[in-house]
Amino acid sequence: MPQRKAAVKRRRIDEKRTRTNRTLKADLKKVLKGYKALVAADKKDEATAQLKTLYAKLDRAVTKGILHKNTAARRKSSLTLMLSKKA
C-alpha cells in the first residue's frame, strides 16, 4: 500500500483509467466480433453499416491513447479488405 498522499492519489487515478480503458477495449472487441459475424453470414449491407461504427470506435481508441494510430489504420484496412473479399 502506498504511504504518501501523492502515491495514493496516483493509484486511484490509475485504477480509474484502467477501468475506462478496459471498458473501451471490451466495447471495441464486441463490435468487432459482431462485424466479423455479419461478414461471415454474407450480410453486406449490415456489415457496411457496422464498419462505420467500427471505424468510429477505432478512431476513438486512438484519441484516448488505447491504440496506436498505425494499429488502428492496419485494422481498418484489414476489415475493409475482409468485406470486399466477401463481395
Domain 5-86 has CATH 3.40.50.720: no
- Predicted local confidence at residue 87, as pLDDT: 65
Distance separating the N- and C-terminal Cα atoms of the chain? 56
Rounded to whole angstroms, how far apart are CA atoms 76 and 72? Answer: 6
Task: Round to whole Å and give the CA distance between 32 and 54.
Answer: 7
When pLDDT is cut at 50, 70 and 90, the band that residue 3 belongs to is confident
Reported confidence tier of residue 20, pLDDT bands at 50, 70, 90: very high
Query: Strands, DSSP E only, in the chain?
Result: none
pLDDT digit string, tens, across residues 48-64: 999 999 999 999 999 99
